[in-house]
Chain A
Amino acid sequence: MLERDVFMKFESENVTAYNFAYLDEQTKRMIRRAILKALAIPGYQVPFASREMPMPYGWGTGGVQVSAACLMPEDTLKVIDQGADDTTNAVSIRKFFEKTAGVATTEETARASVIQTRHRIPETPLTDEQILVYQVPIPEPLRFLEPSEVETRKMHALEEYGLMHVKLYEDISRHGAIATAYAYPVKVAGRYVMDPSPIPKFDNPKLGDCPAIQIFGAGREQRIYALPPWTQVVSLDFEDHPFEASKAEADCALCGAGDSYLDEVIVDDEGGRMFVCSDTDYCRARRAAGHVGAQGAPEGVA
């Protein structure tokens, strides 16, 4: 048996007593079944028997279980947290899989075969050799509109999505524009309305017609949903208030990029601030290629 061989090889090379990628094989099979079902019905939330993971809920337990079920020994893993490779969540999960799966890791988007992400889609376009795994806190887009889970499931089943537009209506009546800036609801393949996890709405256009497989895992809520490659994804809007993928009106202060999503960084107590790429890998690669922003120093200069 192939899987068994993989396991034995891993066992002999690692002193740890973990099964490959932490979860036992039966659990991974269960998660893979859920993933296959999710891919077969784009945007539909598939229940799965989420396991207790060695991290608190809210830290990506859903994403980690999906990653564990997707990883193969020859995979290269990248983990990003709000676009960055070097923040606590990203570092911890990367280390977790280095230890329990022994897979190669990278910070370069183009080199990774599995990318686990929290709240961003990388700026570098994805390819058909990659799987993007999202960490999802609340999979139900109707959650704060309709308190009953029985009712929301019925609404999904009967395609009753008028309420989603009530939320957008409220946005416009209060703020003059659709103020929802993240977790912006989308309609998948003309059928299910889906919460794309709290990615900025700037990333919404990247969800659709993407060559990579995108899988969403919500650990506490025990739901997996997915976008197969090249799926049609439409952000909900009004005819007279069309969807707009917004970002800060600035260029990256370090690499000068005008097309990437920016983080605002407060630099002093006098209201000074700078905007930098939220995708650290993208910013680093641009600086390495010689791009310099208003406040950036060229690569290699202190």
Chain B
Amino acid sequence: MNALLQVRKVTKSYGDRVGCADVSFDLWPGEVMGVVGESGSGKSTLLACLSGQMAPDRGAVIYDTRDRGPMDVLAMSEPERRMLMRTDWALVHQTPRDGLRMGVSAGGNVGERLMAVGARHYGDIRARAVDWLGRVEIAADRVDDPPSAFSGGMQQRLQIARNLVTGPRLVFMDEPTGGLDVSVQARLLDLLRGLVREMGLSAVIVTHDLAVVRLLADRLMVMKDGRVVEAGLTDQVLDDPQHGYTQLLVSSVLQV
């Protein structure tokens, strides 16, 4: 079995400042990788480099495509990469507004990826949109409402439905629970965990919230100043942190 995603020495700097440096890891099918670290530690830069939104200065990102086996994403042609983004990959933004079309109804938002890969039957598209709204706990009678009429938590769930409708294999999530209150966060995490298990998704989740990775991630990378300072199984890293910075992170969590 090949690793789904092989990341090798990905480096990106902004002039003199380091974005991320020499990040390497393997992501296996069905595995969820958490990336934690404080603001400015290079988490989002890393995610942008992995998901093809930004070209790293050095390194390779090798993805195991369905039909042609492992390929370097960075060396792919743009149409190939965009096709991958629409079908096999999904990208969940921190702010739903970045990932949704705010002027288009919820059904249209979910259906867009289907139409982008050639679905041309209105009834089928709508039925699948309604089905997916149900899976993310949005009532079917909201299918024609625009996302602007939704609460923040609903918008985030809609964004997840829109991304997962084409049955991707790899999901990139940037702070999926950012800006939501804790009870909504808990439900969203529950939902995400269910979907990840049920669909056998692989995911890279960037967050600063240790509770999120505790619940979702199988493995964990801790980043500081653009470098990975510690990596391992989630429970191992969180329960027995070795690096000074990880120890600081873990002890900074407020206990209620």
A173 touches B126 (CB 8 A): yes
Q: How far is the CB of B172 from chain A (nearest CB, A)?
A: 20
| Interface residue from B105, B116, B125 paired with A163 (Cβ < 8 Å) | B116
Check B122–A241 contact: CB distance below 8 A.
Answer: yes
Enumerate chain A interface residues (CB-CB to B < 8 A).
Answer: 154, 158, 160, 162-163, 165-166, 169-170, 172-174, 238-241
Q: CB distance B78 to A169 under 8 Å?
A: no
Of B82, B120, B125, the residue contacting A160 (CB under 8 A) is B82
Residues in B whose Cβ lies below 8 Å from that of A238: 120-122
Q: Which residues of A contact B115 (CB under 8 A)?
A: 162-163, 165-166, 169
Whether A173 lies near B121 (C-beta < 8 A) is: no
Are the C-beta atoms of B123 and A240 separated by less than 8 Å? Answer: yes
Residues on B with C-beta less than 8 A from A162 are 86, 112-113, 115-117
Judged by DSSP, the binding face of B is helix
Residue from the list A158, A172, A174 in contact with B122, Cβ < 8 A: A172
- Residue from A160, A173, A240, A241 within 8 A of B108 (CB atoms): A173
CA distance in complex: A160, B86 (Å): 11
Question: Among residues 70 to 116 in chain B, which have CB atoms less than 8 Å away from a CB atom of chain A?
Answer: 78-79, 82, 86, 101, 104-105, 107-108, 111-113, 115-116
Q: Are B120 and A169 in contact, with the CB atoms below 8 A?
A: no
Asked if B112 contacts A239 (CB within 8 A), the reply is no
Q: What's the minimum C-beta distance from B114 to chain A, rounded to whole angstroms?
A: 8
Would you mind naming 30 contact pairs between A and B with Cβ atoms under 8 Å apart?
A154-B78, A158-B82, A160-B116, A162-B113, A162-B116, A163-B112, A165-B115, A165-B120, A166-B104, A166-B108, A166-B111, A166-B112, A166-B115, A169-B111, A169-B115, A169-B122, A170-B105, A170-B108, A172-B122, A173-B107, A173-B126, A173-B143, A174-B105, A238-B120, A238-B121, A239-B120, A239-B122, A240-B121, A240-B123, A241-B122
B144 at the interface (CB under 8 A from A): yes
Q: Which residue of A lies closest to B107 (CB)?
A: A173
In the complex, which residue of chain A has the Cβ closest to the Cβ of B112?
Answer: A166
Q: How far is the CB of A215 from chain B (nearest CB, A)?
A: 30
Task: Report B-chain residues with C-beta under 8 Å of the C-beta of A169.
Answer: 107-108, 111, 115, 122, 125-126
Question: A-B contact count, CB below 8 Å?
Answer: 52
B110-158, CB < 8 A from A: 111-113, 115-117, 120-123, 125-126, 143-144
- B105: which A residues are within 8 A, CB to CB? 170, 173-174
In this complex, how many residues of chain B approach chain A with their Cβ under 8 Å: the count is 23
For the complex formed, measure the closest distance between the CB of B150 and the CB atoms of chain A, giving whole angstroms: 16
Other A-B pairs beyond A163-B115, A240-B123, 20, CB < 8 Å: A158-B82, A162-B112, A162-B113, A162-B115, A163-B116, A165-B120, A166-B108, A166-B112, A169-B107, A169-B111, A169-B125, A170-B104, A172-B122, A173-B126, A173-B144, A238-B121, A239-B120, A239-B121, A240-B122, A241-B122
B89 to chain A minimum Cβ distance, whole angstroms, is 15
User: In the assembly, what is the distance between CA of A239 and CA of B120, in Å?
Assistant: 6
Shortest beta-carbon distance, A161 to chain B, in Å? 8
Q: Which chain B residues lie closer than 8 Å to A239 at the CB level? A: 120-122
Distance of A265 from chain B, by nearest CB (Å): 34
Q: Which residue of A lies closest to B78 (CB)?
A: A158
**Which has the most chain A C-beta neighbours within 10 Å: B101, B112, B113, B120?**
B120
A165 to B116, CA, bound (A): 8
Contacts of A174 in B (CB 8 A): 105, 144
Q: In the A-B complex, list the 3 residue pairs whose CB atoms are closest, starting with the nearest.
A: A162-B116, A238-B122, A165-B115
Closest Cβ–Cβ distance, residue B102 to chain A (whole Å): 12
Residues of B within 8 A of A166 (CB): 101, 104, 108, 111-112, 115
Which B residues are CB-close (under 8 A) to A165? 115, 120
Nearest Cβ in chain A — how far from B130, in angstroms? 11
Q: List residues of chain B with CB within 8 A of the CB of A160.
A: 82, 116
Taking the nearest CB of chain A, how far is it from the CB of B129, in angstroms? 9
Determine the chain A residues whose CB is within 8 A of the CB of B111 once the complex forms: 166, 169
CB distance from B206 to the nearest CB of A (A): 25
Query: Which residue of the partner chain B has the closest CB to A165?
Result: B115
The smallest C-beta distance from A12 to any residue of chain B, in angstroms, reads: 57
B101: chain A residues at CB < 8 Å are: 166
Closest to B114 in A: A162
Distance to closest chain A CB from B233 (angstroms): 40
C-alpha gap A174/B145 in the complex (Å): 10
| Bound form: Cα–Cα A114–B113 in Å | 43
Closest A-chain residue to B143, C-beta based?
A173
On chain B, the residues within 8 Å of A154 by CB distance are 78
In whole angstroms, how far apart are the Cα atoms of A73 and B121 in the complex? 51
**Closest Cβ of chain B: how far from A8's Cβ, in Å?**
53
